[in-house]
Amino acid sequence: MTEIENKPNKSTRKAGVLLQQIGLNMVMVGLLILLGFLAWQRFFEKDGSRVASAEPESGEVIEPGKGGPYKVEELPVALSPLATSAEPGEGIIRITNLKTIIPSRPRVDVITYTVQAGDTLFSIAQNFGLKPETVLWGNYEVLNDNPHFLKPNQILAILPTNGTYYEWKENDTLSSVADFFQVDQDEIINYPGNFFDLTTDDPNGGITPGTWLIVPGGKRAIKDWGPPAITRQNAAAARYYGEGACGSIYEGAIGSGTFVWPTTDHGVSGYTFDSGVHPAIDISGQEGNSIFATDSGVVVYAGWSDYGYGYLIVIDHGNGWQSAYAHLSAIGVGCGQSVYQGAYIGALGNTGNSSGAHLHFELSINGAKVNPLDYTR
Ligand SMILES: [Zn+2]
């Protein structure tokens, strides 16, 4: 008696087709809802490349989306004729058009961005398709070339292209500005985001002091606010750097040329090594965690630094190598003291320009900063 099930008659087959169609439609609607949800989720997703250096209290969880959506204070108002000619493309219906932050056509003017909790120099640069250097170059007044100066609610200028941002001064010339940033002056004149009066006799295009120019492809050295090269022979040369400076020191322990991890936590949280913008690593940890000498040597700086590094220890290993430990909460050694590899020298902290407890650890050989991760783990 399974005939009906095996051989359905005409009307049940018809009903089956209808049910199939309804089912198919429902699947399509479901897929569309899923797509919409995924697009929405993607928008709120944060770049996971950095864990906020502020350690949560135990049990507290940092949500990946904590920073929320990007806030673009000011959308491009002045579009060049070239940019507006791209308008016909607007006819395409974009499902996620509500979430579009960065216009699909090239932006040529400077917009602003409000720093959110959890942002880093690298994540901001990546979100706008720029190099981290460009974010520093565009905001010298706010960040002073130091990624550790980044704080929530700061308003940053976001350049439309990689390069530098320059405020025109009295007596400037286009060629001197172009030379300084190592570009051809035509790059500046022809950039649509700069508004030169090309009808004037003025060789500088009528630019007046106070005008900000975008210098596409422009470069300049980024200031390293870290401690200067301090050897035991020249320890006093860091006198300008803060009250932790030491006097002359002539002898003491010599390092082995091998390095041990300088604290209890092994995670790099915050900024990792970048020779351009952060020649150090930030190691995670709780305030008060022990800090150890990475190799034997002599303490050549121990105390407060005036350049954002808070309480700082610098050890000269006597063989060309030096190590620096910044943002400390306590200093357990003094100037000229010999320390041995792995010895306790102080406590992890959050002093100076630091947003959350971490150890900023630098390693250098003959004055050149290297990535500590290449030497110790
Ligand atoms: Zn750092």
**pLDDT (average), residues 6-29:** 54
Instruction: Give long-range contacts, CB 8 A cutoff, 24+ apart: 54-59.
Output: 54/355, 54/356, 54/357, 55/269, 55/284, 55/285, 55/286, 55/356, 55/357
Tell how far the Cα of 10 is from the centroid of ligand 1, in angstroms.
76
User: Which residues are 156's β-sheet partners?
Assistant: 113
Is the Cβ–Cβ distance between 245 and 304 less than 8 Å? Answer: no
pLDDT at 38: 57
Look at residue 71 and tell me whether its pLDDT is greater than 50. no
Tell how far the Cα of 84 is from the centroid of ligand 1, in angstroms.
43
Q: Which stretch of 149-153, 232-236, 297-301, 353-357 has the lowest confidence by average pLDDT?
A: 353-357
Higher pLDDT, 5 or 204: 204
CA atoms within 13 Å, Cβ hemisphere of 367: 5
Tell how far the Cα of 40 is from the centroid of ligand 1, in angstroms.
33
pLDDT at 195: 82
Look at residue 86 and tell me whether its pLDDT is greater than 50. no
Work out the pLDDT band at 39, boundaries 50, 70, 90.
low
Burial class (CB in 10 A: 0-12, 13-18, 19+), 201: exposed
Look at residue 354 and tell me whether its pLDDT is greater than 90. no
Tell how far the Cα of 76 is from the centroid of ligand 1, in angstroms.
33
Tell how far the Cα of 132 is from the centroid of ligand 1, in angstroms.
15
Tell how far the Cα of 360 is from the centroid of ligand 1, in angstroms.
4
Tell how far the Cα of 190 is from the centroid of ligand 1, in angstroms.
38
Which residue's entry shows tokens 């100066």? 149
Q: Which stretch of 51-65, 319-333, 341-355 has the lowest confidence by average pLDDT?
A: 51-65
Tell how far the Cα of 31 is from the centroid of ligand 1, in angstroms.
45
Look at residue 150 and tell me whether its pLDDT is greater than 80. yes
Residue 297's Cα: distance from chain center in Å?
A: 32
Residue ranges per domain, the chain? 68-76+106-219, 235-374
pLDDT at 72: 37
Burial class (CB in 10 A: 0-12, 13-18, 19+), 263: buried
Work out the pLDDT band at 137, boundaries 50, 70, 90.
very high
pLDDT at 20: 64
Look at residue 256 and tell me whether its pLDDT is greater than 80. yes
Work out the pLDDT band at 269, boundaries 50, 70, 90.
confident
Burial class (CB in 10 A: 0-12, 13-18, 19+), 93: exposed
Higher pLDDT, 85 or 192: 192
E strands along the chain, which residues? Answer: 111-114, 155-158, 163-167, 212-216, 281-284, 290-292, 297-304, 311-316, 321-328, 330-331, 338-339, 344-347, 358-365, 368-370
DSSP assignment, residue 357?
S
Give the CATH class of 68-76+106-219: alpha beta
Is the Cβ–Cβ distance between 358 and 268 less than 8 Å? Answer: no
pLDDT at 11: 46
Is the Cβ–Cβ distance between 238 and 247 less than 8 Å? Answer: no
Look at residue 69 and tell me whether its pLDDT is greater than 80. no
Tell how far the Cα of 280 is from the centroid of ligand 1, in angstroms.
6
Tell how far the Cα of 236 is from the centroid of ligand 1, in angstroms.
24
Work out the pLDDT band at 23, boundaries 50, 70, 90.
low
Tell how far the Cα of 274 is from the centroid of ligand 1, in angstroms.
10
pLDDT at 3: 40
**pLDDT (average), residues 252-267:** 96
**pLDDT (average), residues 150-176:** 94
Q: Which stretch of 101-115, 131-145, 162-176, 216-230 has the lowest confidence by average pLDDT?
A: 101-115
Tell how far the Cα of 283 is from the centroid of ligand 1, in angstroms.
8
Is the Cβ–Cβ distance between 259 and 372 less than 8 Å? Answer: yes
Tell how far the Cα of 277 is from the centroid of ligand 1, in angstroms.
10
Tell how far the Cα of 126 is from the centroid of ligand 1, in angstroms.
19
Tell how far the Cα of 285 is from the centroid of ligand 1, in angstroms.
13
Homologous superfamily, domain 235-374: Glucose Permease (Domain IIA) (2.70.70.10)
User: Which residues are 321's β-sheet partners?
Assistant: 365
Tell how far the Cα of 358 is from the centroid of ligand 1, in angstroms.
8
- The reply to whether domains 68-76+106-219 and 235-374 share a CATH topology is no
> Across the chain, what does the average pLDDT equal?
80
Higher pLDDT, 20 or 56: 20
Tell how far the Cα of 131 is from the centroid of ligand 1, in angstroms.
18
Look at residue 321 and tell me whether its pLDDT is greater than 50. yes
pLDDT at 100: 54
Look at residue 362 and tell me whether its pLDDT is greater than 90. yes
Tell how far the Cα of 319 is from the centroid of ligand 1, in angstroms.
24
Higher pLDDT, 356 or 284: 284
Tell how far the Cα of 226 is from the centroid of ligand 1, in angstroms.
9
Tell how far the Cα of 325 is from the centroid of ligand 1, in angstroms.
10
Query: Would you say how long the chain is, in residues?
Result: 377
d(CA 302, CA 325): 10
Which residue's entry shows tokens 């980044």? 150
Read off the tokens for 294.
Answer: 């990475």
pTM greater than 0.95 (yes/no): no
Tell how far the Cα of 281 is from the centroid of ligand 1, in angstroms.
6
pLDDT at 203: 80
Tell how far the Cα of 272 is from the centroid of ligand 1, in angstroms.
8
Tell how far the Cα of 240 is from the centroid of ligand 1, in angstroms.
21
Tell how far the Cα of 279 is from the centroid of ligand 1, in angstroms.
8
d(CA 203, CA 218): 20
Summarize pLDDT for 88-100 with one digit per residue, the tens: 334 444 444 455 5
Instruction: Give long-range contacts, CB 8 A cutoff, 24+ apart: 168-175.
Output: 168/207, 168/208, 168/209, 168/210, 168/211, 168/212, 168/213, 169/209, 170/209, 172/204, 172/207, 172/209, 173/203, 173/204, 174/203, 174/204, 174/205, 174/207
